[in-house]
Amino acid sequence: MTQVEAPAWTPMSAEEREAFDRDGYIVVPSVLSESEIEAGRAAILGYYEKQKSAGELSATGALHQLSPIAHVPELAFLIDHPKAFKYIWSLLGWNLHIYHSHIDVHPQLHQKQKQWWHWHQDGGRQNREIETDPRPMLSVKLAYWFSDVSETGRGNFTVLPGSHKTNWLPGPPSRGVPWPAPDGATQITANAGDLVVFDRRIWHARSDNYSDITRVGAFFGYTPRWIAMRDENADLPNRPEWANLTEVQKQLLGGFGDGDGDHQWGHYPETTPLYGALKERGLLDSSIPALIP
């Protein structure tokens, strides 16, 4: 597996936290090194070619693969990359796991697509069954880029800045009806190796890729362990590569606590790997409620 240079753990800055709270996302440049970009891109595109040979791609030749660590274990270095993971524990604390993740490959589209409405918030039924306004954040997602999306029209992650505190967005009367993007929609531009950190509530979509640059990205959504995982990682502990993971990585992939409900509720911080890692580094900031044991 790819080895990551291990800088000292540091929390997100006050300025980053302010921007995240205001806009619902931040862009962090140059999180991945050139070697990490190369390794991640090669792993994702290698899996893409395998799926292509098996006839498992979409009609447009795109790949959207859930539970990527179960399919491409070489990407495990991304889930707790110190330059990226600091945003997760700074915002969500220590009692968390990855509940929803995917890798995406979108090659060039050669035919103009209808402007379908793909705008959504992450979280599925959370957005119907939770009654508060605004609804709680509950999850933060990391989006790693392995392709150049420094110009618009390259399959860019597209957001409505500040919409993470808005429960409802006017859209089409039903699915399958062409509909324009909402006013203020912004295509985020980034270079390979950059990171987007976003609140799962922000209204977002993806621009169509009409460029000759294949869009390649990896997305990991983190949430408290008392929320069920969507990812299907049950078989990971039975595989040889499991032994190469750290205890924190095992926690993030759902392989810690033996399914004990009290443990998932955070009743045993001293035996929760991420709590121990933060405590060892003096990072359990009592001013952040999620970091308090």
Per-residue pLDDT tens for 222-240?
A: 999 999 999 999 999 999 9
b/e burial code for range 138-168 (CB count within 10 A of at least 16 → b): bbbbbbbbbbbbeeeebbbbbbbeebbebee
pLDDT band with cut points at 50, 70 and 90 for residue 256: confident
Cα 272 from Cα 165, distance rounded (Å): 31
* Mean pLDDT, range 154-172, rounded to an integer: 96
What CA–CA distances, in Å, run from 35 to 1, 2, 6, 41, 151? 12, 9, 14, 10, 23
Look at residue 145 in the predicted model and tell me its pLDDT.
98
235, with CB counted inside 10 A (0-12, 13-18, 19+), is: exposed
Residues 6+ apart with CB under 8 A from 183: none
Look at residue 4 in the predicted model and tell me its pLDDT.
61
pLDDT band with cut points at 50, 70 and 90 for residue 207: very high
* Mean pLDDT, range 59-75, rounded to an integer: 97
Q: What is the model's pTM?
A: 0.95
Look at residue 5 in the predicted model and tell me its pLDDT.
59
Q: Which element (helix H / strand E) includes 68?
A: helix 68-71
Domains in the chain (CATH in brackets) are 14-291 (2.60.120.620)
Look at residue 38 in the predicted model and tell me its pLDDT.
98
Summarize pLDDT for 9-45 with one digit per residue, the tens: 999 999 999 999 999 999 999 999 999 999 999 999 9
Report how many helices (DSSP H) and strands (DSSP E) the chain contains, helices first: 8, 9
